[in-house]
A = this chain, B = another copy of it.
């Protein structure tokens, strides 16, 4: 499956008084990239939700390598870093669209739950084809 990076233009309102994109925005960009990723693999957010399942963020991390400025265009390469029955980890790599220079890397860890009663569920049981898809996208361990 050929997944292309999510392209994001930076916005003026995302800058701070240091003249760079404020660090909190990258967490939102990861979400945008995740939504885009789910669409690219054929499981857009609403399709997951139509199965009565949704997912939430358990934890996240972000490393800032170099600044992003207003007007920059970035690529956010998104992938499955780890997959489990009930939890999965996604990884993000933000690079400058023009120079390819690395800007930020990050990870978000998620769990799945039933919308009906907010109970955590095994994705493997609830939507096995999505579970299989996620696991198939995980990079091989060598």
Could you tell me which A residues sit within 8 Å of B by CB distance? 11-13, 15-20, 22-24, 27-28, 31-32, 35, 44-46, 54, 56-64, 70-71
Chain A interface helix/strand/loop/mixed: mixed
Q: Which residues of B contact A62 (CB under 8 A)?
A: 59-61
Give the contacting residue for A56; candidates B13, B57, B60, B64; CB below 8 A.
B64
User: Are A56 and B18 also in contact (CB < 8 A) when A24-B27, A27-B24 are?
Assistant: yes
Query: Judging by beta carbons under 8 Å apart, are A63 and B71 in contact?
Result: no
How many angstroms between the C-alpha atoms of A58 and B54 in the bound complex? 31
How many copies of this kind of chain does the complex include? 4
Report whether A18 and B60 are in contact in the complex, using a CB–CB cutoff of 8 Å.
no
Choice from B17, B24, B58, B64 contacting A63 with Cβ under 8 Å: B58
Name the B residues within 8 Å of A46 (CB-CB).
71
A54 and B15 contact, CB distance less than 8 A:
no
- Distance A24 CA – B12 CA, assembled complex (angstroms): 11
Contacts of A27 in B (CB 8 A): 23-24, 27
Shortest beta-carbon contacts, A-B, top 5:
A15-B17, A61-B61, A59-B63, A24-B27, A23-B57
